[in-house]
Structures are given as C-alpha cells and as structure tokens.
Amino acid sequence: MPPRFPRFAALLAILLVGTLPCAHAVEYTQVNTTASKISFTYNQFGSRAYGTFGKFDATIDFDTANPTAAHAKMTIDLASIDAGGSDANSELQKPAWFNTAEYPVATFESTGVKALGNHRYLITGNLTIRGMTRELQVKVLLKPEKGIGLFDGDIIVKRRDFKIGEGEWADNVVSNDINIRFRIVAPER
C-alpha cells in the first residue's frame, strides 16, 4: 500500500466526520397549527382548572445548525379560549379579563434563542396581552420525529402583570400564576 493512501484515508475520514453535524441539520419554516396546541392550567377556589386556545397563527424560522438566528411569532385569538364552560368563556371576554373588544389577540415574538444542548433551547421574547408587553424566557425541547419537529415548552405567566382579572377578581379567587403549555408542530423543510 503506498504511504500516501493512509494519509488520504485519514484526511477523508476527518472531512466526513466534520460534515456530519451539517448532514443532520434540519430547518423548520412552517407551522401546522391544526396539529399544534396551546393549553393552560390555573387554580380557582383552590381547585386545578384547565383550558385551551383553539385559534392561533404561528410562524417559525428555525435551523438546528444556527439556532441563534431563529425567529418565531405567535398570535393567539383570545376569543377562542375554552376554559371549561360557556359562562367562563364569556366572562373572560369582558373588560376585567382579556377585554377582547379592545384587545382581540395576544402575541409572542422571539428576540433571541440560545442552544442549551440535547435539543433544548432558551427562547427570549416579548409577550403582549391587553396592550402591555413583558419580556419572557421559555425553555423549549425540540423532539425531531419522522419528518416533523415537535417544539414543547411551558412557562408561568403572572396574570396581574397584564392586568388580567381586575376588580372583584383581583383577589386570590383565581391564581396569579397561569401555567401555559404549548406543542408546536413544524414539518422539516
């Protein structure tokens, strides 16, 4: 065997191994909102309650090879809330709560993404509800599965930070901490 062959083979192996991360990089640029879900839990009168938002739009531009350049935006139709009953849903549209006549949507837009390793990311962004904007950080786990990415995360939002539940509801009838969970489904590009 000529002496150049082992050097060539070693160089080829280094090049191939060096390109493996790029071969596994995946881009996500669309959101399947039908398969995605936003839910929340809270305490009311000491009991755990559950709800969902049925309508939202989302955009994503996420490349696993360059997560710091990622961007995401979500717009939630607040009138699509299902808090377990028509009375609760109607109450949440009123001025003391979401005031959907004046503020029909909530938005979240990312301002930065940091890779934490092992498919985990820390997304920083601005949440706007009732015309008030607060910066939040949310940990997200990306689960790649059969040509799609499942972006799972949860965050606790303080309802009083957005003046949600004012007046007679301002006391502790409803917990200040609202745990929001989401699963965003995005096909690979």
CATH number at residue 163: 2.40.128.110
In the chain, where do the E strands start and end? 27-28, 37-44, 47-53, 56-63, 71-77, 81-82, 105-117, 120-129, 132-145, 148-158, 177-187
Single out the residue of 129, 124, 151 nearest to residue 140, CA to CA: 151
Judged against a pLDDT cut of 70, whether residue 2 lies above it is answered with no
Structure confidence at residue 21 as a pLDDT band (50, 70, 90) = very low
Q: What is the pLDDT of residues 121-180, one digit of tens each?
A: 999 999 999 999 999 999 999 999 989 999 999 999 999 999 998 877 667 788 999 999
Q: The domain containing residue 136 runs over which residues?
A: 25-187
With beta carbons less than 8 A apart as the criterion, state whether 24 and 144 touch. no
- Report which DSSP code applies to 26: -
**Three-state secondary structure call for residue 133:** strand
Phi, psi of 140 (to 5 degrees): -130, 135
Domain assignment present for 161: yes
Domain count, the chain: 1
CA distance 135 to 111: 9
For residue 80, the surrounding DSSP H or E stretch is none
Structure confidence at residue 3 as a pLDDT band (50, 70, 90) = low
Domain assignment present for 83: yes
Judged against a pLDDT cut of 60, whether residue 6 lies above it is answered with no
In sequence order, the 6+-apart residues with CB closer than 8 A to the CB of 110 are 70, 71, 72, 73, 123, 124, 125
Domain assignment present for 32: yes
Q: Are strands 56-63 and 47-53 parallel, antiparallel or unpaired?
A: unpaired
Q: What is the pLDDT of residues 81-102, one digit of tens each?
A: 999 999 999 999 999 999 999 9
Domain assignment present for 155: yes
Domain assignment present for 106: yes
Domain assignment present for 125: yes
Structure confidence at residue 16 as a pLDDT band (50, 70, 90) = very low
Domain assignment present for 1: no
Domain assignment present for 46: yes
Judged against a pLDDT cut of 90, whether residue 31 lies above it is answered with yes
Single out the residue of 178, 131, 184, 176 nearest to residue 155, CA to CA: 178
